[in-house]
Amino acid sequence: MRLLRLILECSLCVTLFATAGCGQKSNGQITGESPAAQPSSSPGVFAPAQSSGPSTSLSRTPQSQTTQRPTLDLARLENNVRPAVFWITVFDSSGKLLRTQTAFFISGDGRFVTIARGLENGVNAVAKMANGDIYNVTGLLGASTALDLAVLQADEKRVPFLTLNKNPDVKTGTRVGVVGSALAGATESARETTVSTQQPDRLEIAATLPPDSAGLPVVDAGGEVVGVVIAPGEKAIVRPSNAVASLLAKIASDAKPRWPETVRATVTPTPTSSPRPTPKPRLIYAPAPPFPSEVRSRPGATWSGRFRLNFNARGNVTNVQVVQSTGNSVLDQAALSTLRQWKSAPGQEWGATVPVTFQTR
């Protein structure tokens, strides 16, 4: 199989993948815990979420096992929990946006949890924080279709994160909080509710949540995660945090984050200077150049080059130049032809330099 990797370095970070014709599976572990009811509806399309800060846990005080507060301190939960909650946007192999859903960091080195079904047909993703920061999602570490949970890795080593309560006391009537991304504004502010049903592998909460709430963390009074919303509705279904801990325990210590595809492009656009504030540039279509069939070589051979792209305000590529040749004219032409098809969101003129590596396998 031939592998193509693109890395585009600028201020905005987007990871895009394209198929190489093989359909290689992810190295992320797929586990099969006991089946549980799966939600029937797909999550709605979100936008992005919160800014990164120092690599410290945002939930330090566990809920008391003996004393239950009559109400939660929602303002405290807003301050402690929301910075770790964000939106993950998933793309297919052609660079087309598939969907956006909520996720939250569970470690300071960029490991996070989201809903597994939201990754279907995805081969790359980006995490967007509330302050506009964008992080590459380097791949999947583990997933469970039975639990509808996935653990992924973001390419950022200092992020705010939440602590899992691995042995939560969430009996019926327990007061809990549901906290969403700050990008959603007041619609996903911290809200208080109670556990209405408790089972070993699922909880139900009394809050009515909108369809795009899948992936929200459910926390106790101290801000520790006691569950993840997997099916919003009048009585939202929540996967308890000990199920997340079980999934994490099945991920090998040396597991490498991987996407299913063997060809990927990492994109970091750099906007041109502007005298007035403008939206950051955003790629909306970035297919990977195919490996020309006429190029023959031994397995593992690589050719690398750099190409400069310029986009107009309508998002179209106006010019592509070879900054550094791959050393093979056929590969250069393959890269140029595909890069001319890239599109960005309309808004401003900008340019970026794209390192391109062709590799045979």
Query: In 10 A of CB 312, how many CB atoms?
Result: 14
- Residue at a domain's end among 197, 219, 249: 249
| Residue 230 shares a structural domain with residue 91 | yes
| Residue 77 shares a structural domain with residue 208 | yes
pLDDT at 209: 85
Instruction: State mean pLDDT over 233-259.
Output: 89
| Residue 158 shares a structural domain with residue 234 | yes
Q: How far apart are CA 320 and CA 337, in angstroms?
A: 9
Say if 101 falls within a structural domain: yes
Say if 348 falls within a structural domain: yes
Residue 358 pLDDT greater than 70, yes or no:
yes
Q: Are 345 and 281 in contact (CB under 8 A)?
A: yes
- Give the single-character DSSP code of 70: S
pLDDT at 278: 57
Question: How many domains are there within the chain?
Answer: 2
Q: How far apart are CA 40 and CA 123, in angstroms?
A: 22
* One-letter identity of residue 53: G
* Terminal Cα distance for the chain, rounded: 5
C-alpha closest to that of 211 among 143, 97, 115: 115
Residue 220 pLDDT greater than 80, yes or no:
yes
Q: How far apart are CA 62 and CA 5, in angstroms?
A: 44
Say if 125 falls within a structural domain: yes
pLDDT at 50: 40
At which residue do the structure tokens 């007061």 appear?
175
pLDDT at 223: 93
Say if 256 falls within a structural domain: no
24 vs 186, residue with greater confidence: 186
At which residue do the structure tokens 């950051």 appear?
280
Continuous segment of H or E residues that includes residue 112: strand 111-115
Which pTM was predicted?
Answer: 0.56
Q: Are 63 and 169 in contact (CB under 8 A)?
A: yes
Say if 312 falls within a structural domain: yes
Span of 130-144, 252-266, 313-327 with lowest mean pLDDT: 252-266
| Residue 118 shares a structural domain with residue 158 | yes
| Residue 211 shares a structural domain with residue 163 | yes
pLDDT at 38: 40
Residues 92-151 have pLDDT tens digits of 877 788 889 999 999 999 999 999 999 988 888 889 988 888 888 989 999 998 999 999
- Give the single-character DSSP code of 350: E
Average pLDDT for the chain: 77
Q: Are 9 and 353 in contact (CB under 8 A)?
A: yes
| Residue 104 shares a structural domain with residue 213 | yes
The burial class, CB within 10 Å (0-12 / 13-18 / 19+), for 154 is buried
Say if 254 falls within a structural domain: no
Q: How far apart are CA 130 and CA 211, in angstroms?
A: 21
Helix/strand/coil for 268 = coil
Continuous segment of H or E residues that includes residue 182: none
Say if 257 falls within a structural domain: no
| Residue 223 shares a structural domain with residue 306 | no
C-alpha closest to that of 321 among 308, 335, 311, 331: 308
List all residues 6 or more positions away from 322 whose beta carbon is below 8 Å from its beta carbon: 305, 306, 307, 332, 336
| Residue 145 shares a structural domain with residue 269 | no
Residue ranges making up the domain that contains 65 = 29-249
| Residue 269 shares a structural domain with residue 241 | no
Residues 84-109 have pLDDT tens digits of 999 999 988 777 888 899 999 999 99
Query: In 10 A of CB 314, how many CB atoms?
Result: 12
| Residue 13 shares a structural domain with residue 33 | no
Please give the share of the chain, as a percent, with pLDDT higher than 90: 34
317 vs 285, residue with greater confidence: 317
Residues 17-38 have pLDDT tens digits of 333 333 333 333 333 333 333 4
Residue 253 pLDDT greater than 90, yes or no:
no
- Residue at a domain's end among 249, 271, 304: 249
| Residue 207 shares a structural domain with residue 313 | no
Q: Which CATH number fits the domain that encloses residue 279?
A: 3.30.2420.10
Integer Rg of the chain from CA: 22
- Residue at a domain's end among 249, 279, 309: 249
Q: Which CATH number fits the domain that encloses residue 224?
A: 2.40.10.120
| Residue 190 shares a structural domain with residue 68 | yes
